[in-house]
Amino acid sequence: MVQNKQLGPSDSFIFNRTGHRLRNRTVLAAMTNKQSHSDGTLSDAEIKWLTRRAKGGFGIITTAAAHVSKDGQGWDGELGLFDDMHIDKLTTLTDSIHTHGSLSFAQLFHGGMHAPQYLTEKTPISASKIPCDESKSGFTRSASGKDIKRLINNFTAAAVRCVQAGFDGIELHGAHGYLISQFLGTKTNMRKDEWGGDLKNRTRFLIEIYRSIKENVPDSFIVGVRISPEISDLGINLEDSINLAGFLRDEGIDYLHISCWDAFAKSKEYPDDSRRLTEWFTQSVDDLPPIISTGSVWSKSDAQELMNQGADLIGVARVGIPYPGWAKKLSQENYNPPRAPFTVQHLREADLSDVFINYMRKWDGFVSNNN
């Protein structure tokens, strides 16, 4: 079903349940940037980088993935949400984002098997005991029933901190192979109890986190979920992900964020089918919540094409780094800014600190070797 949503500066969007109004359909997707302090508090550099994108006209600004408990930290310089000490700086951030007219979302996550022991001093925890390079023993520890309850409480407490810090909503990070997706995947979740087995059971961890959060945040607070359609290494397949979207719709989530990496790619599982990843969802599931889709959008025509696939909101990550004003510039016809590499000077002018610029060197070809 092709939808005729238009992409323009005046094409606002309303989250029907909560009444939040977006000035346009653009979303700055979560981007780890390594700029937080070692205790997880937000740095001024991170506030500056996100504020600049709010000034640049994005409808929603999402924080980097933030760990909800100390044992969930995936890398250094990561934003934390595991303690009340984080609230102060986050309040400065949300005030600043709101001043410039964007909604502010925080992304909540736990690294699970990707939370290295050298950082957390704990054996990485996951749905099952599985091989794990980040663990001194070479394996994760399978979460006990008590661990699971504690983790649900950690996610809930982090969400409550987000309310206190003035965020408009949160995104549960159920994508990219972190703890929630380790529960979803058949290769990482071999449990025989109610937290493993069929899709309903493998989804239980995510759903219970969602329900617990909903019981503890105001009704007006937006709660959405990000998922990956396919991660074959984890045993996450497209059919399960589509069914998961149906479960999440039934729970009443405020939005579903599909992380495609390349939104114009076909399914890896069904390469002969012409549907793009987002279309698999928008054409298979009735009454979906608003869909954010993200992956390889660069130009205005990319964004429009993704809306034609049925996305309600367009997420971008990489193009928002060199072009903080990308959202506003969509008002230009045929907007298609130059692609990587970007010089250090260009990135500094776009309000990236050197820490973030160095991190971006890990993304092949993004930072130019010439200054």
State the residues that interact with ligand FMN by CB under 6 A. Answer: 29-32, 64-65, 107, 173, 175-176, 226, 259, 261, 294-297, 316-319, 363
* Nearest distance, CB of residue 363 and ligand FMN, angstroms: 6
Return the number of the residue (79 or 152) whose C-beta is nearest ligand FMN: 79
**What's the token pair of residue 92?**
């400065």
- Beta-strand ranges (E) seen in 169-316 are 169-174, 222-227, 255-259, 291-294, 313-316
| Shortest reach from residue 342's CB to ligand FMN, in Å | 13
DSSP string, 292-333: EEESS--SHHHHHHHHHTT-SEEEESGGGTT-TTHHHHTTST
Q: Is 86 exposed, middle or buried (0-12, 13-18, 19+ CB in 10 A)?
A: buried
Q: Whole-number minimum distance, CB 36 to ligand FMN, in Å?
A: 11
Q: Which residues pair with 266 in a beta bridge?
A: 276
The answer to whether the beta carbons of residues 203 and 244 sit under 8 Å apart is yes
Nearer to ligand FMN by C-beta: 13 or 326?
A: 326
In what helix (H) or strand (E) does residue 55 lie, and over which residues does it extend?
helix 44-55
- Based on CB atoms, which residue is closest to ligand FMN, 87 or 340? 340
Which is nearer to ligand FMN, 151 or 347 (by Cβ)?
347
Contact 293, 260 (CB under 8 A): yes
